[in-house]
Amino acid sequence: MTTRPRVTLMLPGEWTRLAWADERQSRTLRVALVEGGAGDDAAAATVASIDAELATVQRAGGDQALLRVGSQEPTLLLTSWPDQWPCRTVADLRALAPDDASVTVLEHQRGYPSVRLERTDAPEGTVLRTYWVANPDSGRLHVVDVTFFGTAFPAEHLELYDLLATTLHWTESEDVAS
C-alpha cells in the first residue's frame, strides 16, 4: 500500500477545514451563508454544490477540503491524490485534460510540471479552476480544485492560486512506486 505525502498549504485569510460528508456541517454552512447575506435559495444551491464537489473529490483520492467564507464570496479548495500517475511532464498532464479544456502551463519554482485548467463544467454561479502539479521524480500527481462561488474569478485570486500551485511540493515516501 502506498502512502500519501502530506502537503501543508499556506493560504491568506480564514479557512475552515471541512469533513468529506457531514449533514450537520451542511446545515451549519447554509445558516452561515444566509447570515452572511446570501438568500436562502442561493445558500441552499451553494451548499448543494459544495456537497457534490466534496463527494466527487473524495472518490478521486480526496486529501484536504477547505472553505473560505467571510467578507468575500465563498471559495472551496479541495486537494487530492488521484490514481492518474505517473505524470512526469507537462505533456503527461495535457494528455489528462478534456479536449475542451483551456490548459495554461505554469512555471513551477522547483521545475515540477504544473498546469491550470479553466473548467467548463462549473455549475451556474460558480467558477472552477483546477491545478495539476506532478513530482517529476515519482510521477505522483497532486490536484488542487478551486471553486469560487460567484460569477467572475477575481484576478487577484487567480494570482494567489497560481502562486500556490507553483510553490507546491512534497517529499515522497519510500513505499511509493516510481
pLDDT in tens, 9-40: 778 778 888 877 778 877 877 777 776 667 78
Reported as a single tens digit per residue, the pLDDT across 132-169 is 999 888 888 899 988 887 777 778 888 888 999 999 88
Q: Is residue 174 part of a domain?
A: no
Per the structure block, which three cell numbers stand in for 85? 500517475
The pLDDT of residue 113 is above 90: yes
For position 74, what pLDDT does the model report?
76
**Cα 94 from Cα 105, distance rounded (Å):** 9
148, part of any domain: yes
Question: What's the residue count for the chain?
Answer: 178
Number of structural domains found in the chain: 1
Q: What is the pLDDT of residue 121?
A: 72
- Distance CA(161)–CA(116), nearest Å, equals 9
Q: Which residues contact 115 (CB under 8 A, 6 or more apart)?
A: 90, 93, 94, 97, 103, 104, 105, 106, 131, 132
Average pLDDT over residues 91-113: 90
| Grid cell in block for residue 139 | 510521477
The Cα–Cα gap between 119 and 149 comes to: 14
Residue 36 maps to a domain:
yes
Residue 119 included in any domain: yes
Global confidence as pTM: 0.79
The answer to whether residue 11 is domain-embedded is: no
Specify the range with the lowest mean pLDDT, choosing from 15-19, 55-59, 126-130, 171-175: 171-175
Per the domain annotation, does 159 fall within a domain? Answer: yes
Task: List Cα–Cα distances, 85 to 60, 116, 135, 137, in angstroms.
Answer: 13, 17, 10, 12
The mean per-residue pLDDT over the stretch 1-10 comes to 71
Which range of residues forms the domain containing residue 142? Answer: 16-167
User: Residue 123: CB partners within 8 Å, gap ≥ 6?
Assistant: 45, 49, 52
Note whether residue 98 is domain-resident.
Answer: yes
pLDDT of 166: 92
What is the separation, in whole angstroms, between the first and last Cα of the chain?
13
Residue 115, pLDDT above cutoff 90: yes
Question: Residue 91 falls within a domain, yes or no?
Answer: yes
* C-alpha grid cell, residue 30: 447554509
Q: What is the longest distance spanned by two Cα atoms in the chain?
A: 50
